[in-house]
Amino acid sequence: MINILKQLRLDYRIKVGYGAAFLLLLVSYLLTWYANQELITQSKLVTHSNTTITHMEDLASYVKDAETSVRGYIIMKDENYLTPFYDSRKMVNNTFYLLENDTKDNTSQQILLYTAKSLIDRKYDRLSEGIGLVKEDKIKLSDSIWKTHTEGKILMDSIRGVIGKMKTKEQELFTARNNELHTGYVSMNIIIVTSLILAFLFAIFGFITYIRENRARKTADKKVTEYQDQLKSRIEELGIANKELIQMRHTEKFAATGRIARTIAHEVRNPLTNIDLAASQLKTDIGNPDENSTMLFDMISRNSKRINQLITELLNTTRFLDLSFENFSINVILDEALELAKDRIELNHIRIEKNYADHLCDIAVDQNKIRIAFLNIIVNAIEAMEPDKGILQLITRDEDNKCVVEIHDNGIGMDAVTISKLFEPYFTTKTKGNGLGLANTQNIILNHKGIIHVESTPGIGSIFIIKFDFATAE
């Protein structure tokens, strides 16, 4: 319980730490975004003021160029001097429209701009009148110079004064906006430095938390792996113990069946002998029995022999055998069993696949008996498979210092109930069969101190697994 509470407190601290880190980073990001937007806005305003001042200076410069151009024309009376005058007029108009757009959100600047436009228009009108008088030769050079100098100076001073006021106002705006831009840059740097410090602190916090949690996770993973290995080992041990228990039950069942079979044979054969003797005596006493009596005597004799034969077969499948042990290769015995089943294999077009282990040691067995045991299993597998589609696999290998034989088929398979009764005498799922073949097979293998085990899946097939001890060196 204490560990659980500690873990909950640790989880709470981690959640609070990461939550605070996320919140602070989010606030830092929003402040950075806001400051960045303000910097962009102020930068645009500074650029706008700078551009407006440049346009104002251009406007005064164009008017000055026009005045210089006309003065040169009056003096030299060469119309080539008027080219700058005409060009400047166009440039003045274009610059005016630019300034009008630049100052559209500033009423005082617009008033000064329109005043400057009015003065510039008057200036150009006077310059145009002077050009006309010169062209008509109505004024003398001295008069023209005096007139141009006097009136032009007054207008030009007025234009310079108005544009100067505009530049002064715009310069004030430029200075204020530039100061705000500088302040924004300073704030931005502070926010960035603060964000970096916070990010660094959160990185350290996250790294420390990660190391701590990673250690705990590795410890937990190690424990889980150990528990899994232990569980796997226990499952394997349980599986081995279960197989041994099943084998013990098979052996006990085999021994119990043998005892029952011998008891039944004794109890049945005694009265059966009396029945045979009584029938024989009765037949002798009658002398010449009629046809109906002869049929009844034959029926008694025939069924008596049938019962006696069944008892003999039952005893043969449950008694301990007299075996003649010799060393043989398991691969050779399997091939001999296949040869005995050759006709059935060819008739049903069964495909044989062998996977024998080379250099297996010999096993000490009664060759004839083991061959019969393998033959029973092979025949049972052939009958379980569909003709033309059957695949019979025979595998031999060395496992845990035992000789292992596996006989696979891809037949109809068996369910768990059928497997549990498979080796019982007279149990069969076939329409034709006495149910003693596999019982006899188990009897032979158990008499060799071997193990037989069956694995099967309905619709997929069955596997018979037989294990023998290797022959000991003499």
Residue range 46-62, pLDDT digits in tens = 777 778 788 877 877 88
**What letter does residue 82 receive in the DSSP assignment?**
G
73 residue type, one letter: Y
Residue range 191-217, pLDDT digits in tens = 777 777 876 776 677 677 768 777 877
CB atoms within 10 A of CB 306: 10
Coil, strand or helix at 105: coil
- Order of strands, sheet of 402-409, starting from the edge strand that comes earlier in the sequence: 351-355, 391-399, 402-409, 461-469, 451-457
Question: Cβ distance 342 to 285 under 8 Å?
Answer: no
Question: Cβ distance 39 to 184 under 8 Å?
Answer: yes
376 residue type, one letter: N
Tokens of 171: 């310069």
Phi, psi (deg, nearest 5) at residue 362: -70, 160
Cα–Cα distance measured from residue 79 to residue 85, given in angstroms and rounded to the nearest whole number: 10
**What letter does residue 470 receive in the DSSP assignment?**
B
DSSP string over 316-352: HHHSPP----EEE-HHHHHHHHHHHTHHHHHHTTPEE
Residue range 116-128, pLDDT digits in tens = 788 888 888 887 8
Q: Is the pLDDT of residue 190 over 60?
A: yes
Question: Cβ distance 113 to 96 under 8 Å?
Answer: yes
Q: Is 366 left (phi over 0), alpha (psi -120 to 50) or beta?
A: beta
353 residue type, one letter: E
Q: Is 451 left (phi over 0), alpha (psi -120 to 50) or beta?
A: beta
Question: Cβ distance 266 to 314 under 8 Å?
Answer: no
Residue range 8-48, pLDDT digits in tens = 455 565 666 666 666 766 776 677 777 677 767 767 777 77
- Res 266: pLDDT: 56
Residue range 376-392, pLDDT digits in tens = 999 999 999 999 999 99
| Burial of residue 169, with CB atoms counted within 10 A of its CB: 0-12 exposed, 13-18 middle, 19 or more buried | middle
- Res 245: pLDDT: 65
Phi, psi (deg, nearest 5) at residue 329: -80, 130
Q: Which residues share a beta bridge with 404?
A: 397, 467
Cα–Cα distance measured from residue 201 to residue 205, given in angstroms and rounded to the nearest whole number: 6
Output the CA torsion 63→69→71→77 (10° steps): -150
Question: Cβ distance 465 to 408 under 8 Å?
Answer: no
- Res 393: pLDDT: 95
**What letter does residue 471 receive in the DSSP assignment?**
P
Question: Cβ distance 411 to 461 under 8 Å?
Answer: yes
Cα–Cα distance measured from residue 410 to residue 353, given in angstroms and rounded to the nearest whole number: 12
Q: Is the pLDDT of residue 141 over 70?
A: no
- Res 5: pLDDT: 47
Question: Cβ distance 265 to 311 under 8 Å?
Answer: yes
Triad 56, 57, 60: Cα angle to 5°: 90
